[in-house]
Amino acid sequence: MRAQSLHGHLDALLLAVLEQGALHGYAIIEALRTRSGGSLDLPTGTIYPALRRLERAGYVESAWSTVGGRERRTYQLTEAGRQALAGERAGWREFSATVGRFLGTGEPPASPA
């Protein structure tokens, strides 16, 4: 799946991945790949700018650490990020239910009485 196909949804996916706990950038990319069954194989040039955007918005925070002599930045969800994720989930449920009325069953939606 191309990164452009995720326009408008990438931030929510990143927040959902970080809901499980703090991760460094490469682990976030791997989590997206694993949880999507390989469909989301996104380049670092897509992920890192999105993480910086989420950090500027206050939804994630990061810290540098040294592991095995290598420095890496670890990201974690903030309380504002948890609230944003809850809002994204609610919006997604509403959106998918609405689109599902057209694309889901093939039956026309019930008309209002």
CA distance 70 to 91: 39
Contacts of 42 (CB under 8 A, 6+ apart): 3, 6, 10, 29, 32, 33
The pLDDT of residue 67: 83
Average pLDDT over residues 31-45: 94
- The whole-angstrom separation of Cα 68 and Cα 59 is 28
pLDDT at position 111 is 62
Least Cα distance to 77 among 103, 105, 55 occurs for 55
pLDDT 10s digits, 48-83? 999 999 999 999 999 998 888 999 999 999 999 999
Asked whether residue 41 is domain-assigned, the answer is yes
Q: Is residue 108 part of a domain?
A: no
The per-residue pLDDT for 113 is: 58
Q: Per the domain annotation, does 80 fall within a domain?
A: yes
Nearest to 84 by CA among 7, 21, 18: 18
pLDDT at residue number 6: 74
In a domain? residue 47? yes
pTM of the model: 0.84
Average pLDDT, the chain: 90
User: Rounded distance, CA 66 to CA 70, Å?
Assistant: 5
Query: Does 107 map to a domain?
Result: no
Domain contains 111: no
Q: Is 49 within a domain?
A: yes
Domain residue limits at 33: 3-102
Cβ–Cβ under 8 Å, residues 38 and 32: no
CATH code (residue 18): 1.10.10.10
Domain count, the chain: 1
